[in-house]
Amino acid sequence: MTNSNNNLNSKISDAADISKPWDKDNQAWWDWYISLADNNVKDSEVINADPLPNIEIPSDDEVISELAQPYHLTNDQIEFFKKNGFIKLKKVFSPGAVLKLRAELINLLSKEFKVDPDKGAHDRFLSLEMVWPDNALVRAYVLSPRLGKISADLLEVAAVRLYHDNVLAKQAGCGRTPWHFDDHHFPLDTNDVVTAWAPAQPIPIEMGPLTFAYPIDIHKLVNTVTFEKTGTGYDRGVSDVFLKNNVSVNETPFEMGEVSFHHNLNFHSAPRNRTNRSRVALANTYYRDGARVVNAPTMVSGDWQKFMPNVEPGDVAVSPLNPICWPVKDK
């Protein structure tokens, strides 16, 4: 399947010209991208999140064993994903595995940003990428056979590789994530791309759960909306098109252990986090083995060569940092 990067209608103007590569770091990219969201609607004040459950936390070996077990999809679930471009699956992780992941991600974010995301920080969207090469516990989740097999089954492909991992923390009070699809973020020549978005705590409505527009083909409705690299015009334009066409939107809470999977053509967003706890998630993107890098990646793809070192535009998308996550090789 051919990638539709060119579906972004970019007029040749300074505001719409995204042809230049991104020349800053990953956090700067997220600071920029979140600034594109329309936050004119003022939500109510920040509320207290429910306490996290007090349960026994599994060992590293127990987590690895859990994540090696297959998660079997039904034909109906695969068909739902094909039609709508997303699916939310319950009990992908046990509650203990979720809280173990959260503790590790909070620790990593605290070290990187010199602040506790749950206590001393507000209003910002924090991100860490490529954590798995240097962190054995995060690697167990990112490269897990469970997530790899689900991704391959949903895409109906024989093998998937990792594009990158992404630790995401939407802090207390942080505003909306703009409407977007991931097709132009990942500089790959295939639409066989899926992101596993794994919350590291339950996400009530007030915390701003990932929100999906569907069916998958609604991305065609916004082809005429010009993407601009400044301002909120694109986000507002997409919202107006969706409203005018009565597009269906799934905005529902995430239970403990629930993980969503969204296709690179699925339009998604997220509301403001109105709780006093950071909404932390681990997002891993997988793609069909054999895909190539597009010939002209743009600034919207961020620092993609960090994820594929020594891979050039037009090359097969393979590097030591893009291992096959399914099928699992015999040891």
User: Does residue 100 have a pLDDT over 90?
Assistant: yes
Tokens of 302: 């961020």
Structure-model confidence comparison of residues 117 and 165, the more confident one: 165
In the prediction, which pLDDT does 145 show? Answer: 97
Half-sphere exposure of 195 (CA within 13 A, CB side): 24
Average pLDDT of span 65-70 = 95
Q: Which of 32-41, 182-191, 321-330 has the lowest mean pLDDT?
A: 32-41
Average pLDDT of span 124-135 = 95
In the prediction, which pLDDT does 330 show? Answer: 63
In the prediction, which pLDDT does 23 show? Answer: 81
Nearest one of 207, 76, 221 to 153, comparing CA atoms: 76
In the prediction, which pLDDT does 18 show? Answer: 72
User: Does residue 24 have a pLDDT over 50?
Assistant: yes
Partnered with residue 206 across adjacent β-strands are none
In the prediction, which pLDDT does 144 show? Answer: 97
Tokens of 277: 């706890």
In the prediction, which pLDDT does 185 show? Answer: 86
C-alpha distances (whole Å) from 315 to each of 291, 304, 324 are 9, 13, 17
Average pLDDT of span 305-309 = 94
- Positive or negative CA dihedral for 35, 16, 243, 255? negative
In the prediction, which pLDDT does 6 show? Answer: 45
In the prediction, which pLDDT does 3 show? Answer: 55
Question: For residues 66 and 54, is the Cβ–Cβ distance under 8 A?
Answer: no
Phi, psi for 65 (deg, rounded to 5): -65, -45
The predicted-structure confidence for 266-290, as pLDDT tens digits, reads as follows 999 999 999 999 999 999 999 999 9
Q: What percent of the chain has pLDDT over 90?
A: 79
Structure-model confidence comparison of residues 261 and 28, the more confident one: 261
Structure-model confidence comparison of residues 70 and 16, the more confident one: 70
C-alpha distances (whole Å) from 308 to each of 169, 179, 185, 311, 315 are 24, 26, 14, 6, 10
Per-residue H/E/C for the chain: CCCCHHHCECCCCCCCCCCCCCCCCHHHHHHHHHCCCCCCCCCCCCECCCCCCCCCCCCHHHHHHHHHCCCCCCHHHHHHHHHHCEEEECCCCCHHHHHHHHHHHHHHHHHHHCCCCCCCCCCCEEEEECCHHHCHHHHHHHCCHHHHHHHHHHHCCCCEEEEEEEEEEECCCCCCEEEECCCCCCCECCCCEEEEEEECCCECHHHCCCEEEECHHHHHHHCCCECCCCCCHHHHHHHHHHHHCCCEEECCCECCCCEEEEECCCCEEECCCCECCCEEEEEEEEEECCCEECCCCCHHHCCHHHCCCCCCCCCECCCCCCCEEECCCCC
Per-residue pLDDT band for 44 (boundaries 50, 70, 90) equals low
Average pLDDT of the chain is: 92
Question: For residues 321 and 133, is the Cβ–Cβ distance under 8 A?
Answer: yes
Q: What percent of the chain has pLDDT over 70?
A: 93
Nearest one of 209, 177, 204 to 49, comparing CA atoms: 204
The predicted-structure confidence for 165-183, as pLDDT tens digits, reads as follows 999 999 999 999 999 999 9
In the prediction, which pLDDT does 331 show? Answer: 52
In the prediction, which pLDDT does 43 show? Answer: 60
Average pLDDT of span 182-205 = 95
| CA–CA gap between residue 219 and residue 212 (Å, rounded) | 12
Q: Which residues contact 61 (CB under 8 A, 6 or more apart)?
A: none
Question: For residues 287 and 183, is the Cβ–Cβ distance under 8 A?
Answer: no
Question: For residues 2 and 191, is the Cβ–Cβ distance under 8 A?
Answer: yes
Per-residue pLDDT band for 9 (boundaries 50, 70, 90) equals very low
C-alpha distances (whole Å) from 217 to each of 38, 177, 208 are 23, 21, 24
The predicted-structure confidence for 130-144, as pLDDT tens digits, reads as follows 999 999 999 999 999
| CA–CA gap between residue 238 and residue 227 (Å, rounded) | 10
User: Does residue 17 have a pLDDT over 80?
Assistant: no
Domains of the chain as residue ranges with CATH: 5-41+54-326 (2.60.120.620)
